[in-house]
Amino acid sequence: MVAFEHPHPHGLVPSTAHLELPFFDAHHRQMAPELVAWSAQQQVDETDDRAACRDWLQRLAGGGWLRYCVPAAHGGALPALDSRSLVILRETLAFHSPLADFAFAMQGLGSGAITLAGTPAQQAAYLPAVAAGRKIAAFALSEPDAGSDVAAMATQAVPVAAGYRLNGSKTWISNGDLADFYVVFAKTEPHAGARGISAFIVDARHPGLDSHEHIHVMAPHPLATLRFNDCTLPAEALVGPLHGGFKLAMQTLDIFRASVAAAALGMARRAFAEAVAHAKRRQMFGQTLADFQLTQARLGEMSALIEAAALLTYRAAWQRDCSHTRGAGTPAYTAAAASAKLTATENAQRVIDMALQMFGGRGVQVGQKIESLYRDIRSLRIYEGASEVQLLILGKAALR
Ligand code: COS
């Protein structure tokens, strides 16, 4: 099941064999091969990460794929956000280009709160534009002193006659200084912890918002710090209930955590495909690398790690799509998404490392796919809830 199909003229093509699993429906089985064929035709120059993201977004919009980031009532492909479609999209895109996956995912994560809790006017103003690639979205939750501990955030939104006045900063913001709008989380009741946070839509050019400070990371993608200095927002900028922002952030993350697992899975499958192709080609000691039992055992280990990650990822997405318990408390699929994200990102790191080892010196050569995957995978164990946060979620669920 981890197998890949024959090498495409432009590289390796992922298999869609896993779509036969009972987690998927007919529309998933129809969409996946179309996406695989479309992805294999895309060639984007990724030397400049910001320009490449814009390029990918236009292509993803043109291919109709961004429509999976919003519901059908607002220009989306399906009646509601479908975790399994997101998983298929991210796994396939990440196999080809982690930056394509990033560009896709941020449209969904950045607009997710508006989809879940926006007013009809907010949904009409933002969601069709997100689906068509006319507006770039971003999700602004983390702060310099509040990453895993969301409830510790210090950014404040104080009620004023005109609406709310925002002061503070957000950091590690994906699509920072590229986005057209941000969904920003801020304290509206500073002493109420998780129950005192609200979400707001802030347009990129809004006075009082400074996003010029870019952050450079080992696997380039657009990131910035946002600073709010008396940024006055109209009352209509509030998304969802006042003080209901923590749950809204968690609900949004619940959707996308399973898809981060899928992105990791796509990268692991690509590393595996590269390793298998290399093992069959590479000659040493009078045979191919693949002829060594040591290689076969290593490939077997990689395959098992990938399969474990795949099943948890698909189950988490399926569980969320089929759940009817939205709203009350922490839902059961939160733990499923945590298991999937933890396992898929950790396993992918190991698989990619094993693949790199098989490539020997070439594995660390800049410009080799395996070298960039080695850098690409690392941040997935940190963002959208570090592995330790997933362990915490699982531990709390066990004790409940
Ligand atoms: N869906 C709905 N409600 C949820 C929820 C979920 N997934 N998770 C928590 N809640 C609710 C809880 O039910 C609780 O509700 P009540 O106040 O009514 O009891 C409330 O939210 C607070 O929950 P909890 O006590 O578990 O919150 P903590 O402050 O302990 O935080 C963690 C829990 C650590 C899990 C959370 O802060 C987290 O996910 N942190 C990581 C954040 C992250 O991913 N950052 C990266 C940003 S994007 S790059």
Whether 267 and 365 map to the same domain: the answer is yes
Q: 18-58 pLDDT, tens per residue?
A: 999 999 999 999 999 999 999 999 999 999 999 999 999 99
Task: Tell whether the model's pLDDT for residue 276 goes beyond 80.
Answer: yes
**Per-residue pLDDT band at 325 (split at 50, 70, 90):** low
What does the pLDDT read at residue 138? 98
Question: For ligand 1, what atom is nearest to the CA of residue 142?
Answer: 47
Q: Is the CB of 394 under 6 A from ligand 1?
A: no
Q: Is the CB of 393 under 6 A from ligand 1?
A: yes
Whether 131 and 146 map to the same domain: the answer is no
Residue 353 included in any domain: yes
Question: For ligand 1, what atom is nearest to the CA of residue 149?
Answer: 37
Whether 252 and 308 map to the same domain: the answer is yes
C-alpha 281 – ligand 1 centre gap (Å): 48
Whether 254 and 389 map to the same domain: the answer is yes
Q: Is the CB of 212 under 6 A from ligand 1?
A: no
What does the pLDDT read at residue 12? 85
Q: Which of 73, 108, 135 is the last residue of a domain?
A: 135
Task: Tell whether the model's pLDDT for residue 315 goes beyond 50.
Answer: yes
Report d(CA 207, CA 130) in Å as an integer. 22
Residue 377 included in any domain: yes
Q: Is the CB of 334 under 6 A from ligand 1?
A: yes
Whether 274 and 382 map to the same domain: the answer is yes
Mean pLDDT confidence for 301-320: 97
Whether 91 and 155 map to the same domain: the answer is no
Question: For ligand 1, what atom is nearest to the CA of residue 141?
Answer: 47
What does the pLDDT read at residue 10? 42
User: Over the chain, what is the mean pLDDT?
Assistant: 94
Could you tell me which residues come within 8 angstroms of residue 380 by beta carbon, excluding any fewer than 6 positions away? 260, 263, 264, 267, 345, 348
Percent of the chain with pLDDT over 90: 90
**Per-residue pLDDT band at 255 (split at 50, 70, 90):** confident
Q: Which of 97, 115, 135 is the last residue of a domain?
A: 135
Q: 107-161 pLDDT, tens per residue?
A: 999 999 999 999 999 999 999 999 999 999 999 999 999 999 999 999 999 999 9
Task: Tell whether the model's pLDDT for residue 209 goes beyond 60.
Answer: yes
- Smallest CA separation from ligand 1 atom 47, residue: 384
Task: Tell whether the model's pLDDT for residue 173 goes beyond 60.
Answer: yes
Could you tell me which residues come within 8 angstroms of residue 18 by beta carbon, excluding any fewer than 6 positions away? 1, 310, 314
Q: Is the CB of 195 under 6 A from ligand 1?
A: yes
What does the pLDDT read at residue 188? 98
C-alpha 95 – ligand 1 centre gap (Å): 30
Could you tell me which residues come within 8 angstroms of residue 36 by beta carbon, excluding any fewer than 6 positions away? 13, 14, 16, 92
Q: Which of 135, 169, 202 is the last residue of a domain?
A: 135
Q: How far is CA 221 from CA 47, 99, 348, in A?
A: 11, 7, 19
Q: Is the CB of 254 under 6 A from ligand 1?
A: yes
User: Domain of 177: which CATH number?
Assistant: 2.40.110.10
User: Domain of 289: which CATH number?
Assistant: 1.20.140.10
Cβ pair 18, 1 in contact under 8 A? yes
Q: Is the CB of 337 under 6 A from ligand 1?
A: no
Report d(CA 16, CA 88) in Å as an integer. 9
Dig out the tokens for 185 from the structure: 């989380």
What does the pLDDT read at residue 328? 55
What does the pLDDT read at residue 7? 42
Task: Tell whether the model's pLDDT for residue 326 goes beyond 60.
Answer: no
- Smallest CA separation from ligand 1 atom 23, residue: 194
Whether 56 and 97 map to the same domain: the answer is yes
Residue 1 included in any domain: no
Dig out the tokens for 282 from the structure: 């590479």
C-alpha 248 – ligand 1 centre gap (Å): 9
Q: What is the CA radius of gyration of the chain?
A: 21
The parent domain of residue 289 ranges over 247-399
What does the pLDDT read at residue 5? 42
C-alpha 246 – ligand 1 centre gap (Å): 7
Whether 239 and 251 map to the same domain: the answer is no
Q: Is the CB of 143 under 6 A from ligand 1?
A: no
Count of the separate structural domains present in the chain: 3
Q: Which of 1-10, 20-29, 379-388 has the lowest mean pLDDT?
A: 1-10
Task: Tell whether the model's pLDDT for residue 327 goes beyond 80.
Answer: no
**Per-residue pLDDT band at 400 (split at 50, 70, 90):** confident
What does the pLDDT read at residue 329? 60
Active site (catalytic) residues: 384
Residue 7 included in any domain: no
Residue 2 included in any domain: no
Whether 303 and 172 map to the same domain: the answer is no
Largest CA distance in the chain: 80
C-alpha 384 – ligand 1 centre gap (Å): 12
C-alpha 33 – ligand 1 centre gap (Å): 36
**Per-residue pLDDT band at 6 (split at 50, 70, 90):** very low
Cβ pair 318, 84 in contact under 8 A? yes
Whether 39 and 121 map to the same domain: the answer is yes
Mutation choice for ligand 1 from 247, 254, 320, CB with most ligand atoms inside 8 A: 247
